[in-house]
Amino acid sequence: MGTDLREQSLSAQRLFELADALTGQPISQLCAEGPLERLTQTEIAQPAVVVTSLAALAVLREQLELQPAAVAGHSVGEFAAYVAADVLEPEAALRLVQIRAQAMAEACMAVDGTMAAVIGLDDATVGAVCAEASQSDSTVEVANLNSPGQVVVSGARDAIDRLRQVVKGRAGRVLALNVGGPFHSVYMRPAAETLAQALKETEFRAASVPVVLNSTVKATQDPDELRHELAVQLYSPVRWVETVQRLAVLGCDQFLEVGPGTVLSGLVRRTLPQANMASFGSRAQLADVRSLFQIAVG
């Protein structure tokens, strides 16, 4: 993750060094060498994803003159989106992500929770099934509405076990996900309270372009709304399908995923098959970006 960006860009290198210093963890080394089981731990994974995204953004800004019409980020990706929209400085974003990751890791220790994908049921039915499987002290709820037909649920492990039986009775399937805990559920409210205090102490600027929010799908440039979102989204569903559709309403027909991997590119294509899409998380993908925006070399 981000190794070639760091090797070829001083700005990217400095961002990784900043992440190492802020977290007190060898983020740079783990991104380059692993091991995967350490890299995927909540307190490491979140800063690693965001710093790689910020490094990719820095390289794009060095190499190409691109100005987005609007931006959005998926879950922790909202922090990188805020930097892209000039709401936060990179250092502030990484500092907040570190607080978020630690608070979420602590919240996960208080519950035996996890997440799972539900296949074969529509969104409304998944919501009803979650309600049926929940009890007063053990709940499960919709966490990610990622693309048509892809819904992720989150909650207590025994509630998800009950949900599995209910879904089976409705001819659906439940696939366990390898995650650190029940993210985007009520069990993350303690983490949201911790993060909210840090958000109050951080300067937020008005966004240079509209930012579409995970929790409400509102397009906003208001700094107070942007600040509020980062706490609320910890325990709210990521409404990604509607987010992508909202970007399309704003006039976006070219989408650039900035950061590690190509997962979001796939989700966008399933939601908006007509959209043009590229991903940028390594120098090798710069040609794809040029092609997307029809930018000549030289």
Report, as residue numbers or ranges, the catalytic residues: 75, 184
Could you count the other beta carbons within 10 Å of the beta carbon of residue 98?
21
Positive or negative, the Cα torsion across 274, 279, 284, 286?
positive
d(CA 144, CA 184): 8
The length of the chain, given as a count of residues: 298
Amino acid at 288: D
Residue located via tokens 């929790």: 215
Could you count the other beta carbons within 10 Å of the beta carbon of residue 203?
10
The DSSP letter of residue 176 is: E
Residue located via tokens 């983490």: 191
d(CA 238, CA 215): 6
Angle (CA) 290-294-298 rounded to 5° is 60
Treating both helix axes as pointing N-terminal to C-terminal, what angle do 189-200 and 90-109 enclose, rounded to 10 degrees? 150
d(CA 118, CA 122): 9
d(CA 151, CA 153): 7
Structure token pair of residue 37: 């089981």
- Say if residues 83 and 63 touch (Cβ distance below 8 Å): no
Q: Between the CA of residue 116 and those of 13, 140, 170, what are the distances in Å?
A: 36, 10, 17
**Beta-sheet strand order (sheet of 113-119):** 140-147, 150-156, 113-119, 173-176
